[in-house]
Structure 1
Amino acid sequence: MIKFHENFVTDANGKRKAVVIDIEEYQTILEELEELEAIRAYDAAKLSNDEEIPFEDAIAEIKKAH
């Protein structure tokens, strides 16, 4: 589990409106999300009946999509 130290921006009533985190923690979150996306793509591919392709080709296709 990612541990980070967030700070909240609140309105005049004290209601949380936004979150501020350290840039390094933000980068870590982005990296984790990217890894999760790859895992989900792998899981979807395993469940499909599509033809298998080499790993390098799959990575190239994923990169083209982003």
Structure 2
Amino acid sequence: MSPGVATFIAVLFIGYLVLGLTGNFLTILALLRCPRVRNVTAAFIIRYWNVAVSLLSIAMITINR
């Protein structure tokens, strides 16, 4: 793979990552701020997001070792 293609793929991946994290953060923020949707489903989504962030952090630490 040429360096140009690798750079292009890396830029796309980082953009996709930032967009996804922003959307997930806004979803969690909306669930926390709106009292009408404080139910079991909202709690599950928030806990699932916390687990995903923890696993992502562990993976990033492992990769950067």
Q: TM-score, normalised by structure 1?
A: 0.47
Structure richer in helix, relative to its length? 2
Structure number with bigger Rg: 1
1 or 2, which has the higher strand percentage?
1
- TM-score normalized with structure 2 length: 0.47
